[in-house]
Amino acid sequence: MRAFLLLAALGLGACATTAGFDARMQALVGLPEGDLVQTLGVPEADFTTPEGRRFLQYERLGRRAPETPAVIGFGVGGFGWRGGYGSGVGIGTSFPVYSAPPDCRVTFEVRQGRVAGFSRAGTGCLAVPPD
């Protein structure tokens, strides 16, 4: 649930920026590792370097593309085949358009059980700044 709320917050608003994304990720620095996993979910990758540095990597964080809204239409017919005419009002909907996951990868470094820092890669790392 928390991961959904964070992702929803990342996707809200038209003024999503990389600075807003960085501010949201910076708020996670200092958290215990368990709290990070509880907030974002299980990472896609968990690795330790030969020197003993540990990293948790998350894919597809960031702003999602907006979905197509419902469509309301109005139509007026021209003259028909036998001289008639017509008009009509219709309500329609659009078909959902596939939205590829954002190109955003975030890697958190964990030291002594706490988030020590993060790095991001990709053009989809966008979010509105936290309140």
Domain that holds residue 54: 9-65+101-121
- Let me know if residue 95 belongs to a domain: no
- Let me know if residue 129 belongs to a domain: no
* Residue 97 in this model has a pLDDT that exceeds 70: no
> Comparing 27-31, 62-66, 105-109, 117-121, which segment has the lowest mean pLDDT?
62-66
- Interatomic CA distance for residues 121 and 50, integer angstroms: 23
Count of domains for the chain? 1
Whether residue 39 contacts residue 61, with contact meaning beta carbons closer than 8 Å, is answered with no
The domain that holds 28 is classified in CATH as 3.30.1450.10
What are the helix (H) ranges across 33-91?
Answer: 33-40
Residues 1-60 pLDDT 10s: 454 445 444 444 458 899 999 999 999 999 999 999 999 999 999 999 999 999 999 998
Check: pTM over 0.85? Answer yes or no: no
